[in-house]
Chains A and B, each alone.
Chain A
Amino acid sequence: MWPLGFAVRWLVKAVMVVLAITVLNFVLVRLSPGDPAVVMAGEAGAGDAQFLEQVRKDFQLDQPLAIQLLTYVKKVVTLDLGRSYRSRRAVADMLFERLPATLLLTGAAYLFALIIGPLLGALAAMRAHTVMDSALMVAALVFYATPIFWVGLILILFFSVNLGWLPAFGMYSMIQVKGVWAQTADVLKHLALPAVTLGLFYVAVYVRLTRASMLETANLEYVKTARAKGLPEWRVATAHILRTALIPIITFAGLQAGHLVGGAIVVETVFAWPGIGRLAFDALFQRDYNVLLGVFLLSALMVVFFNMLTDIAVRIADPRVGGRA
């Protein structure tokens, strides 16, 4: 592995994405019908002449397009994402405040899917063409077809309303609990349902992928060699088949990162999870475009971050990749 070259490559990638998204945001606001100042100001545009004037000045809307774009890019690069018209607070501050909650949720869902999915997939592959295999594949097929928000609602109905086991809303209990451990436990309890909701779709994807990939790998020469050496079947399955079969799964997981961040918006809305997804949902209804554009930019950066993690994971799973770089 070449840590420095690796870091530089991903840094360049992140900068490129920020620039591209910034330009895209600019174009989007431009393409929308009507006065861009009104679009940027959202609902307030109708009545608040003073705020409109502020927006015009902030974005230099009286200047030629190229200068406007340059101003906009300059602002974004210096982390000035404008102000929310609602709260009049800096969008960047609002985003950073909400980021940890979203990272916790998406991270937990990602881990959950990447552990449970391949595990069940491996189980299905080892018991291929049995009842267990069929049951797992049918379950995967159904979850693959289920809207994420619906899974959330049903889990709430079942685990919160009927059984009363887990909380359905927010990140903390109303009455604050004392002590670090008790607080951690409290957050984890609140995290359980949203993380499982967000993760289940990907569990379904990885179960199918792992099974297919393992069945394909199972007939390769080196696996036959391992068997011929007299290794126990579970060793062959885990150390030889699964490790190789995992590589396409991790790669695919990286590709899906963007999808995961998008799913977080829906899940945070269902569970009132105080992350950037929930922020985006509120902004949507207040037509607070500055906030929405900020969420878009930040989530694109999160995708780059998840892609980087994936790249590291592939290097760990497949030693050949690191050696070649």
Chain B
Amino acid sequence: MRLLTRMGANRGALAGGVVLAIIFVMAIFAPLIVPIDPMATVATPLVAPGEQFAFGTDMLGRDVLAGIVHGARVSLLIGLLSTAVAVLIGVTIGAVAGYFGDWVDEVLVRVTEFFQTIPSFIFAILLVAIMTPGLGSIVISIAIVTWPPIARLARSEFLSLRHREFVEAAVLSGVRPLRIIVGEVLPNAASPLIVMSSLMIATAILTESALSFLGLGDPNRISWGYMIGAARTVFRQAWWLSVFPGLAIILTVLAINLVGEGLNDALNPHLKGRSSGDK
């Protein structure tokens, strides 16, 4: 609760939190809010925004508003799932490297560095293309290209906590490494990891939108990036097809970034204001 009050004091984080809550509600109750299939043709193509369709219709006569509301599901789902997988990979690698040190650390650091050098978006495209586009392949691809920063952070946290007294005490009393890593060290390394993961959700949503824009989205689910990409050929005549989904992406990503920075200031008060820019 103290965390929430401290975050509430940050106006940006508060605004971000409210927007994010609205988007979450939109995603969860999408079929109730707009009971129209976003993939179904419901009117003549390219109706401009007006009384009947608040956000207009696209080149196949699909309701853009329905697409925006239902599309929130894909964005949030992929953002959350891919970050969860990336955190799992990153924390595992970082924890093992930082805890065991020595040659294990050496090898894992090299692997992490390599994954950080390769151009991540092109790698993601390649992964999705080879695995064939779908929710699962997108989640896995985004996770595979985004885990290295988490691994580096986890490693440095583990490295600095490894020789603290409470850890040494656990080692001496014969607790198994896995239990020390999960039960002793991880809880103490959690707050910077939480901050970084919250910001990663935003990056993941941006990456998903770019993949879908290029036509690598899940073909059975509407998503904001897909809507913009599909309307690319007619965007000069029908501005609403790219403007509204784009604003939805910006609002969501902005809200997550604001909340993430608020979390950073609340969890790491001594680093206040230094979160800007680093990923």
Contact = CB atoms under 8 A, between A and B. Distances in A.
Contacts of B121: 259, 262-263, 265-266
Contacts of A281: 214
Contacts of B45: none
B53 interface: no
B214 A147 contact: no
A269 B122 contact: no
Interface stretch (A61-69, A76-84, A283-291): A283-291
A300 B214 contact: no
A206 B276 CA distance: 10
B interface, how many residues as a size bin? 35 or more
Secondary structure class of chain A's binding surface, majority of residues: helix
B254 A142 contact: yes
A205 B277 contact: yes
Contacts of A32: 130-131
A293 B123 CA distance: 9
B58 to A, nearest CB: 15
Given A142-B254, A266-B210, A284-B125, A147 B242 contact: no
B120 to A, nearest CB: 6
A112 interface: no
Interface stretch (B26-34, B111-119, B162-170, B180-188): B111-119
Interface stretch (A86-94, A153-161, A184-192, A226-234): A153-161
Interface residues of A toward B: which range? Answer: 35 or more
Interface stretch (B98-106, B153-161, B245-253): B245-253
A295 interface: yes
A284 B129 contact: yes
Given A149-B228, A153-B235, A292 B126 contact: yes
Interface of B: 114, 116-123, 125-127, 129-131, 202, 206, 209-210, 213-216, 225, 228-229, 232, 235-236, 239, 242-243, 246, 249-250, 253-254, 257-258, 273-274, 276-278
Given A144-B257, A146-B246, A161-B236, 18 more contacts: A20-B114, A29-B130, A147-B210, A147-B228, A149-B228, A149-B229, A150-B249, A150-B250, A157-B236, A258-B118, A262-B120, A265-B121, A280-B125, A281-B214, A287-B129, A299-B119, A302-B119, A303-B117
13 contacts: A28-B130, A147-B206, A150-B249, A156-B236, A212-B276, A252-B277, A261-B119, A262-B119, A265-B121, A265-B214, A269-B214, A292-B126, A307-B117
